[in-house]
Amino acid sequence: MPWDKGVVGAVVHQGDMLNLADAHLHRSFDNTVEKQSGYVSKALLCLPIKHVLNMERTIGVIQALNKRSPNGKLDGEFSEQDAVELAKLALVIGDSFYRQRWMALERAVSSSDTQVRSVVAYHGAQSAQQSCSRSSCQGSRLNGGANNFGSLQVDSSWESEDIANAEVASLDFDVLAYSEVRLEQLVPLMLQQAGCSEHCRLADDCVQRWVEAVRLGYYSNPFHNWAHGFSALQMCFYQLRSEEAFSSFSHLDTLGLFIAALSHDIGHPGLTNSFLVNSCDELAMRYNDVSVLENHHASLACQLLQKKETAICSELDQASQKSIRRIMIACILATDMNIHTDLCRKIAACMGSEELNVGHDKQFLMNVCIHTSDLSAQ
């Protein structure tokens, strides 16, 4: 059906949700598909899928039809909570479309689609022109070159045998190819290679106990598990090594970010924030329905640093320890998908700005790093 017709067309035109108890009663309802398929619509929930960087732009529509009522019949009505959950799905779809569209174009190019080739060539030329026009401000905005970790001063020891063998500094790293214990063994090596162990005076035995405690703090969930926690750390590790935008991070910043990344889903119960809030779960009560899981993870991560046997930051002065805690909490809270759209908008705004104040926006950059790392395996 053309997307200027029916309820879909109305949602596209208005850019807003429609929740109908009986779709046939809406003036825009079109029964063409109903006639062709024989499937009769009654309750209908329809939401626009928005462009991730421009919420005024509708790029698609998602519909749910005929909710099943408690008696098993398809005569129920969609609730406000149903709309909330479908809106979350629409957000993920919009984000996925934005991130995957160039992969689709590349596949089309490889299949010799001349129209797609011309589109890719055009946008490639446009990107090149934009890069040239911005080149004068790149140095001041990014403060350093890629692959140098900025003030971390990584030397040739970066290419240690263990790190190289694990490909942990590569996009080719496959977290599922390693045992939980092997992943645990890689964490101290990453802290060493980033300079955190030396400059933040981390004791090897304490680091080992802390990493083991973090691993054991994860539940055996299908996704939010130890492997996912490590994958977020690994992607942060890769980004800090590869992206010049993060070259201003100090060793203290890096340590706070790495602790947050590894611990960002510790104690995850395998349920969503919405479920916990709607079921009046104890965690929702504790954190007042706000970023429930993220606050829970941050709290558990901070508690580990307070225990004598896992207090890896204990050799730092009190001011530095408070800084680590502040960074950790802010980074873990930044993994809440409720802030995803706002974060994408701010990134887009920074890309078009003349200069990014790295010192002032350092926490923002750390939030971007952990948020993207959290999503990297999806």
All residues at 6 or more sequence positions from 312 whose CB lies less than 8 Å from its CB, including other chains: 202, 203, 206, 207, 210, 259, 305
Are the beta carbons of 263 and 301 closer than 8 angstroms? yes
Residues 6 or more apart whose CB falls under 8 angstroms from that of 135 comprise none
Q: For residue 227, how many other CB atoms are within 10 A of its CB?
A: 18
* 155 known ligand binder: no
13 is in an annotated binding site: no
Distance CA 173, CA 184 (A): 15
228 marked among binding-site residues: yes
The annotation status of 251 as a binding-site residue, yes or no, is: no
**Which three-class secondary structure string do you get for the chain?**
CCCCCHHHHHHHHHCCCEEECCHHHCCCCCCHHHHHHCCCCCCEEEEEEEECCEEEEEEEEEEEECECCCCCCCCECCCHHHHHHHHHHHHHHHHHHHHHHHHHHHHHHHCCCHHHHHHHHHHHHHHHHHHHHHHHHHHHHHCCCCCCCHHHCCCHHHHCHHHHHHCCCCCCCCHHHCCHHHHHHHHHHHHHHCCHHHHCCCCHHHHHHHHHHHHHHCCCCCCCCHHHHHHHHHHHHHHHHHCHHHCCCCHHHHHHHHHHHHHCCCCCCCCCHHHHHHCCCHHHHHCCCCCHHHHHHHHHHHHHHHCHHHCCCCCCCHHHHHHHHHHHHHHHHCCCHHHHHHHHHHHHHHHCCCCCCCCCCHHHHHHHHHHHHHHCCC
Catalytic residues: 224
Which residues sit in the known binding site for Zn(2+)? Answer: 228, 264-265, 374
